[in-house]
Amino acid sequence: MAASVPTGHRQTTHRLRRFPLRKQNRAARAAKPPVLPATRAQNRDFPGYVGDVSPGDYLGKNGLDMKAPHLLLAWVCVFVLSYVAHAKQLAVVADPANTTSNLTASELEKILSARTQSWPDGKPITVVMHDPASADMQVVLRKLLNMTPDQARAFIHAHSGAIVIADSDEAVLRYVSGTRGAIGIIDLYSLTKDVKVLKVDGKLPVEQGYILRGN
């Protein structure tokens, strides 16, 4: 029968066997401290308090949220895309047979204000507009005509033979496509192949510096 080993001897041997492992674990932790999930500090007066953060966000050097630059970039992108989505892009359209392909901003202003009433080929001009209170017309009034909506209404009433009011882009397109000499302004995304897009100052609606673009 094998000789028994005193209990104290076995425990001492067991502790000696585990000691190198503990020493290695402590050395590994000292060499590479773990990154701990950030949590809400219980005491806001605590010197290390960095604000309320959600579990799973990680703090880097000096307690700064390492995700902050990415979140800021995301918010900037959302803002820019939102602005682009809501910015008006208007197109000046004429009947397909119109021989004019470009107007200067000054020429367009004279047409819309009824100071120019015929095209170079002699065709009479009919201007088709939305109601002056509409968002599209707000851009036109501000950037070309320098009128308030009330002034524009009075002007349209005084030139009822040369200016037609339409209640939608579809109505503008229908009138312009079927009327020689007609010109209108619509939202770019309502454009169809039934009309001709006129450049303004040599630029199309999608080009940088186009005058009828904005809020």
pLDDT in tens, the chain (215 residues): 455 545 544 544 444 455 455 555 565 555 555 554 444 444 444 444 444 444 444 444 444 444 555 555 554 444 334 434 346 799 999 999 999 999 999 999 999 999 999 999 999 999 999 999 998 899 999 999 999 999 999 999 999 889 999 999 999 999 999 999 999 999 999 999 999 999 999 999 999 999 998 76
CA distance 126 to 171: 14
87-214 adopts what CATH topology?
D-Maltodextrin-Binding Protein; domain 2 (3.40.190)
Token pair of 41 as six digits: 């500090």
Cα separation, 63 vs 57, in Å, equals 11
Q: Where are the domains of the chain?
A: 11-77, 87-214
Long-range CB pairs of 141-147 (<8 Å, 24+ gap) are 143/211, 143/212, 143/214, 144/105, 144/108, 144/109, 144/112, 144/211, 144/212, 145/109, 145/112, 145/113
What is the per-residue DSSP string for 71-108? HHHHHHHHHHHHHHHHSEEEEEEE-TT----EE-HHHH
